[in-house]
Structure 1
Amino acid sequence: MDKNEMSLKWLVTGALFSSIGMSFVWPLTSVYLHNRLGVSLTWIGVVLLFNSLASVLGSYLGGYLYDRQNPYHLLVGGVTASTITLLILVFFHGWPAFGIILFFNGIASGWNLAVVNSIGTSIKEKDSRYVFNMLYFVQNLGIVIGTSLVGFIYSISVTLLFVVASTLFVIFLATVIIKYKPAANKNRKRVSDTEKTAWRSSQLPRANAIILTTFFMSLFIIWIMYQQWVSNLSVYMTSLGIPLRNYSFLWTINAGLIVVSQIIINWLARYHENLILQVFFGFTMLAASFFILIFARTYPIFVLAMVTLTIGEATAFPTIPALVNTLTPIEAKGRYQGLIQSWASAGRALGPLFGGLVIEMTSFPVLFIIATIAVLLVLVTTIGLWQALHGELKAYQRG
């Protein structure tokens, strides 16, 4: 490996520390604000909405600036900002300080995720699919580790929780400062600042632009539907007499299965290279998971739906960034990796509101029917446009 090239080992190590650190914050937001601070569910919804919107903003800015500024400095700045917000939470975690700080933390988190993914486009030691699979793998491994510890530490002290999260981000920051310097120079040697600044999206081939837009809209719609699992399914399951702990265990299954499936997917990647087929398969499984939910009344059926959902997300979600990397030029890789995160975050922001409105006006089964149809439409549209345009697509070298 070129000593001047960013090492995948250190990129995923940093992503792991970041994922574990953030897993100490987001799972407890609703419980902490409502049970400890007495904040209404309405205000909690507002806090979560603005946190997601902040992530959209951070993702876009981080990706956009990656193409124009020194990536190393961008990530040092972003991780420093995340660390500062967590350190502030150690001392000020009352209301409304918690909600305000969470907004700025959302900007920094979105920024960091976009920059880390953009740096992933410049790594040559491994195939881009492997790079994004590994990033997805460690981010979910971090969630497994973080969420398994958060309840225990929270029961001791919420302050300790933020101390641990801050410590992990200090380690992440030290890793970035020491090991991420090659991320800056390799890209910038090959494309001048003038070229990056002068590049316009109109220069992208029409077929590439259409397929990229299709991917972004697909992620937006799918994440709106995916959020029903996160925000509304717990209410539905408990209404059926299923204990809340059983709902929580579904996410243990989800995280663990993602870790296992990424190992299998990386093994299969040695034998086939058709990325778009992975996306099609992933979308099919996501649609199937919502179809199963229409008829779910007992816990084993919910487990089946979760397993199906997890296979779908583990197959599709890390593959889309790899495809976007292939379809975008060096001058704009950061911008489009940032847009992936922005559209996904926008879907996550609107998902709970959309689901709540549908449930209030109709019912849970109707929501699942709408979700099934929506994801199937995404699948059919993506297949149709890919079949029509794949011959015109231009593939670019990695960053």
Structure 2
Amino acid sequence: MAKNEMKLWWLVTGALLSSIGMSFIWPLTSVYLHNRLGISLTMIGIVLLFNSLASVLGSYLGGYLYDRKNPYHLLMGGVIGAIITLIILIFFHEWPAFGIILFFNGIAGGWNLTIVNSIGTSIKSQDSRYVFNMLYFAQNLGVVIGTSLVGFVYSISVTLLFVIATCLFLFFLIVVIFKYRPAANVTRKRADDGSISKYDKKQLPQPNALLLTTLFVSLLIIWTMYQQWDSNLSVYMTTLGIPLRDYSFLWTINAGLIVVIQLIVNWVDHYHENLIIQILFGIFMVAISFVTLIFAKSYLYFVVSMITLTIGEATAFPTIPALVNSLTPVEAKGLYQGLISSWAAAGRALGPLFGGIIIEAVSYTSLFVIASVAIFLVLLSVALVWQLLQAKLIIYR
């Protein structure tokens, strides 16, 4: 391990704690606001939209500042910000306070995710694919743990949820204070030595910039379509007479498969180094999952579709940050890791609205056809741009 380098184990631990803590909040929002506080579904949709936009803002700011300030202090600030919002929620979780505080919690969530991923780019003793695979695994494991506990704790007390989430982030803060100090030793040009201003004037190599733009737009489209699973598939399945518990079980399949697939992907990474092949394969599988949905009338089809979707996301999503890392200079790694989170969050924000419009205007089947075509076009675009630019790309460490 490089001298004074951030240890991957502690970075992964932080990602896990943050993910569990945030997973105590977002699954609760719709049920709590509608069933307990009597808020309309339209207003809840607006709250969730602004929460996603807040995550976009936090991701961008976190990435931008990572390249200019001390990441150790930035992460401490982000975790403290999350703790403050959660403490306020313990005492003030009525309407409209809940919706307002959720916006600021979204900023902190996007900020922390981006800073953790950006610190991951500084770990040189491990292959970047392994680093981002482990971070992706930890973040998904956190979602599994958090969402599996949230229903049980919610039945006891909503206040207890915020107390537990606060304790998790306090633990995260302690880990950051004592174990993340090596993150401050990241060697890169800083604003205070005048070097960053020279970089700002010098554009990223055009081939790199074009491929990065293609990847970011691809993330927006893929996440817009992926979000249909979170927002509209539950309604569609129940209209087919499939119980809601069976829909929930699909996410148990998703979580379990992600664990297995990550182990396989880490093993495969030892034998080949072609990141773009993994990304293209992942996008292809996501597209096939929506093709399956076009014909889905029984539960087995939805199981097959979820398995295909999970293979795709577990292959492509953690590999994209690794490829972006190799395409960006050290002075701008935080900015571009932040843009990954921002474009993905924008897709998650647009997804429910986009799906709702298509379903009301045409049908669920039309939505699945549009999603399939859109993701196949993404696949072709990424493959074409890579083929055209591959020889001209500048690869960074």
TM-score of the aligned structures, taking structure 1 as reference length = 0.98
Q: List per-residue Cα deviations over 1:251-289 (Å, max 9, x = no partner).
A: 111112112211111011111111000000000000000
* Residue 337 (1) aligns with residue 305 (2): no
Match of 1:63 in 2: 63
Identity fraction in percent: 72
SS in 1 for 2:186: helix
Task: Give the 5 Å matches for 1:291-310.
Answer: 291-310=291-310
Q: In 1, distance between residues paired with 2:186 and 2:25?
A: 34
Q: In 1, distance between residues paired with 2:151 and 2:3?
A: 42
Q: In 2, distance between residues paired with 1:114 and 1:389?
A: 27
Task: Give the 5 Å matches for 1:105-254.
Answer: 105-188=105-188, 193-200=193-200, 202-254=202-254
Q: In 2, distance between residues paired with 1:293 and 1:165?
A: 36
Q: Any unmatched runs of 5+ in structure 2?
A: none
Equivalent pair of 1:68/1:197 in contact (CA under 8 Å): no
Q: In 2, distance between residues paired with 1:198 and 1:48?
A: 39
Distance 1:82 1:193, change over 3 A: farther
Aligned-pair RMSD on alpha carbons? 1.2
Equivalent pair of 1:191/1:331 in contact (CA under 8 Å): no
Match of 1:75 in 2: 75
What letter corresponds to residue 203 of structure 1 in structure 2? Q
Q: In 2, distance between residues paired with 1:51 and 1:289?
A: 28
Equivalent pair of 2:68/2:191 in contact (CA under 8 Å): no
Equivalent pair of 2:30/2:44 in contact (CA under 8 Å): yes
What letter corresponds to residue 135 of structure 2 in structure 1? L
SS in 2 for 1:203: coil
Q: Structure 1 residue 185: deviation in Å?
A: 1.6
Q: In 2, distance between residues paired with 1:300 and 1:202?
A: 53
What letter corresponds to residue 65 of structure 1 in structure 2? L
Moved more, 286-295 or 87-96: 87-96
Moved more, 263-272 or 321-330: 263-272
Q: In 2, distance between residues paired with 1:221 and 1:189?
A: 34
Match of 2:374 in 1: 374
Q: In 2, distance between residues paired with 1:201 and 1:258?
A: 41
Distance 1:88 1:332, change over 3 A: same
Task: Give the 5 Å matches for 1:44-59.
Answer: 44-59=44-59
Match of 2:21 in 1: 21
Q: In 2, distance between residues paired with 1:192 and 1:99?
A: 38
Equivalent pair of 2:223/2:344 in contact (CA under 8 Å): yes
Distance 1:276 1:191, change over 3 A: farther
Q: List per-residue Cα deviations over 1:95-143 (Å, max 9, x = no partner).
A: 1111000000000100111111110000012100000000000000111
Q: List per-residue Cα deviations over 1:143-198 (Å, max 9, x = no partner).
A: 11111111111111111111111100000011011111110123247997422243
What letter corresponds to residue 95 of structure 2 in structure 1? W
Match of 1:393 in 2: 393
Q: In 1, distance between residues paired with 2:5 and 2:330?
A: 15
What letter corresponds to residue 328 of structure 2 in structure 1? T
What letter corresponds to residue 126 of structure 1 in structure 2? Q
SS in 1 for 2:94: coil
Q: Any unmatched runs of 5+ in structure 1?
A: none
Equivalent pair of 1:68/1:193 in contact (CA under 8 Å): no
Q: Structure 1 residue 3: deviation in Å?
A: 4.2
Q: Structure 1 residue 201: deviation in Å?
A: 7.1
Q: In 2, distance between residues paired with 1:189 and 1:319?
A: 26
Q: In 2, distance between residues paired with 1:129 and 1:318?
A: 7
Q: Structure 1 residue 200: deviation in Å?
A: 2.4
Equivalent pair of 1:292/1:301 in contact (CA under 8 Å): yes
Match of 2:323 in 1: 323
Match of 1:347 in 2: 347
What letter corresponds to residue 377 of structure 2 in structure 1? L
What letter corresponds to residue 339 of structure 2 in structure 1? L
Equivalent pair of 2:60/2:111 in contact (CA under 8 Å): yes
* Residue 282 (1) aligns with residue 282 (2): yes
Distance 1:122 1:191, change over 3 A: farther
Q: Structure 1 residue 249: deviation in Å?
A: 1.0
Moved more, 251-260 or 99-108: 251-260
Q: In 2, distance between residues paired with 1:151 and 1:309?
A: 25
SS in 2 for 1:261: helix
Q: In 1, distance between residues paired with 2:168 and 2:358?
A: 39
Equivalent pair of 1:355/1:367 in contact (CA under 8 Å): yes
Q: List per-residue Cα deviations over 1:274-331 (Å, max 9, x = no partner).
A: 1000000000000000000000011111010000000000000000000000000001
Equivalent pair of 2:189/2:331 in contact (CA under 8 Å): no
